[in-house]
Amino acid sequence: MKIELLTLYNYRNYIDLNLKLSPNINIFTGFNAQGKTNIIEAIHFSSLGISHRTRNEGDLILWGKNEANINIKFSKMDINSILKIKIKKNTRKELNFNGEIIKQKDLPGLLTMILFSPEDLMLIKGSPLMRRRFIDIELSQISKIYYNELVQYNRLLLQRNNLLKKIRENKNLITMLDTWDEQIAKKASFIVDKRIRGINDLSKLAQKTHYQISQDTEILNIKYNIYNQGNGVLNNFDDLFSFYKNILKKHRDNDIYRGSTSVGPHRDDIDFSINSISLKSFGSQGQQRSAILSLKLAELEFLKAETGEYPVLLLDDVMSELDTNRREKLLSILQDNNVQTLITATDKSLFNIHPKNKFFKVDKGIVSE
């Protein structure tokens, strides 16, 4: 997939930006707070319809304006398309794909991309929520069904939690949980089954890359961890469905007392280990960063295998966080595989002159080659 043209109107600090991108590596340099990350954010927002920096879409609109526009001209499997997004204050955004109005649920998968930001360097040490969000974004880009099932699961979860609170006041409502638990168990089983398969595939790809990065000394393993699984083996949807029906019933009294659902995919986690030793507990900072880099490179191959071509890679201010060897390894892989990449950095000297590198300067919302 390649983005040819990005147009921003009244987005963050951009009044009117028309940016023609190279199909290879695009490097944006400049001082902090000039608008480099805003370009990354706009493209990432176009992929999922959510910002990785704010929950308030009004923050994306230039101060004093009532709406912002993101237009992206891109090619996917050699088919040209145009995606237009209009963000308005105090109302829903408008989405238009090739002249047709679409809904939020239709957006994931149109633009496939991977974001690598400084926050991702905390993926291993950070909260389980970060790791769950990581795999959900990955799978949502290759499967609209997965995205829709995840949305429905979260709605059911909210409704079940509301019912649990009501049961504390009226015990006669407890029989209603049987219906909710059946639906929750089905959605949970579908989601976790897909997550397990996705993590297994990513683990194999990341393991191969990490072995090379570590000069054949470290074996990286990534494993999906089902909350409260115990010693049982859950190999497929049927196993998971039986597990969730039983465990939801087992924890019912506790859930009523807490007023929330204590088991399900919203409680699961992902474990990283090197040579069978936990990276979160015992890995050095260098090992953790190498593992994250291996994971991001694995994402490229994973999405290519699922969609038929590489996604766009967004590297937001992470090059300075990588040492010279990791940085050169990353750029070499991207150049060799013609992965369209957008990189932001404050220091241009981090990059060598290369025929596939296109440099931009960003200064107070003005972008120039």
In 3-state terms, what secondary structure has residue 307?
A: helix
Calculate the average pLDDT of the chain: 94
For residue 68, name the pLDDT band (cuts at 50, 70, 90): very high
Query: What is the Cβ-side half-sphere exposure of residue 12, based on CA atoms within 13 angstroms?
Result: 22
277 phi and psi angles, rounded to 5 deg: -110, 135
Give the mean pLDDT of 142-150: 95
Residue 112 predicted with pLDDT over 90: yes
Provide the pLDDT for residue 329.
Answer: 87
> pLDDT tens-digit profile of 339-366?
999 999 999 999 988 889 999 999 999 9
In 3-state terms, what secondary structure has residue 97?
A: strand
Residue in the block written with tokens 């390894």: 329
Between residues 215 and 145, the one the model is more confident about: 145
- Please state, for a pLDDT cut of 70, what percent of the chain lies above it: 100
Provide the pLDDT for residue 230.
Answer: 83
Please give the single-letter amino acid code of residue 242: S
80 phi and psi angles, rounded to 5 deg: -80, 140
Provide the pLDDT for residue 212.
Answer: 87
Q: What domains can you pick out in the chain, each with its CATH number?
A: 1-112+311-369 (3.40.50.300), 125-308 (1.20.1050.90)
> pLDDT tens-digit profile of 209-243?
999 888 889 999 999 999 999 887 888 999 999 99
For residue 283, name the pLDDT band (cuts at 50, 70, 90): very high
Provide the pLDDT for residue 325.
Answer: 86
Q: For residue 164, what are the contacts with CB-CB under 8 A and spacing of at least 6? A: 177, 255, 256, 258, 259, 260, 261
Provide the pLDDT for residue 354.
Answer: 87
pTM: 0.92
Residue 99 predicted with pLDDT over 90: yes
